[in-house]
Amino acid sequence: MNMNFNDAKAHYRTILGGAQNSDRLDKVLIFPPYPYLLPLHEIAQTEFVQLGSQNVASEASGAYTGEVSSSMIKSLGINYTLIGHSERRAFFGEDAEVLKKKADMALENELTPIFCCGESLDQRNSNQQEEIIGNQLNESLFHLQESQMKQIIIAYEPVWAIGTGETASSQQAEDMHAFIRNLISERYGNGIAESMSILYGGSCNAANAKELFGMENVDGGLIGGASLKADEFLQMIALLDE
Ligand code: PGA
């Protein structure tokens, strides 16, 4: 929830302008607030950058004032949505059951969900992180069919690292990503597990991204604060070309 519309448009144009020579723009997704989706999408179409929504309703349609459905997002020509960001879980009471419905609804409408999971600092300090992540995946995603699961993108975002300036070490990220891939492999087989992208999020910036993205099981990043600084975000996009 940053920037008014004019600032967001200018910021977006700066990013597109700075990244236009990148061969990997198809690997960059931007998740603006709902009201900016369509106008930015109209700019984006000429630049081949894809957009997604930051959230989506758990219900299909009807009397849910204030909600935005997957089919509405899809009807704008937008193909991605975040699901279960830790702020949605913490501040808006989104539990595993709601997130399961959101994942189902997104897939039914051919939106690709970026499903966020992560443990709190207390959970990390008591070494419960694997149990927590395992439960989050199990309760909201592992009911999916194989053909659905392989459309999901996972974002591991330790809550203690989001917006705090404290990043997980590259080894902590790698260990958790390997754990997640292994859980997917046990449930869905190695082929699907290897084909899926697992992104790291939480104080990821231009200074630490190269090392994080260099880890075997870290396939990219979900960038918050650093994406609000055009120069820094452009440096991170440039890493994709290396
Ligand atoms: P951050 O945010 O990069 O500012 O930690 C990540 C996120 O909100 O997903």
Contacts (Cβ under 8 Å, ≥6 apart) of 126: none
Contacts (Cβ under 8 Å, ≥6 apart) of 210: 239, 242
CB atoms within 10 A of CB 46: 8
What's residue 193's pLDDT? 98
Count CA atoms within 13 Å of residue 118 on its CB side.
30
SS3 57: coil
Q: What is the DSSP letter of 144?
A: S
Contact indicator for 208, 169 with CB cutoff of 8 Å: no
What's residue 46's pLDDT? 66
Which protein residue's CA is at the shortest distance from atom 7 of ligand 1?
224
CA atoms of 158 and 121, how far apart (whole Å): 8
The gap from C-alpha 134 to its chain's centroid, in whole angstroms, comes to 18
Residues of the chain with pLDDT under 50: none
pLDDT digits (tens, 9 = 90+) for 109-164: 999 999 999 999 999 999 999 999 999 999 999 999 999 999 999 999 999 998 88
Pocket test for ligand 1, best of 30, 88, 203 (most atoms within 8 A of CB): 203
- Tokens at 42, concatenated: 């109209």
- Among 11, 85, 87, 119, which one carries the catalytic annotation? 85
Q: Where are the alpha helices (DSSP H) in 25-145?
A: 34-44, 70-75, 86-91, 96-108, 121-125, 129-140
End-to-end alpha carbon distance in the chain: 31
Phi/psi of residue 192, nearest 5 degrees: -70, -45
Residue holding tokens 């396939």? 219
Tell me, in angstroms, the distance from the centre of ligand 1 to residue 85's CA: 10
What's residue 61's pLDDT? 98
If you average pLDDT over every residue of the chain, what do you get?
Answer: 95
Residue holding tokens 């997957």? 70
Contact indicator for 114, 199 with CB cutoff of 8 Å: yes
3-state percent breakdown (helix, strand, coil) of the chain, nearest 5: 50, 10, 40
What's residue 19's pLDDT? 87
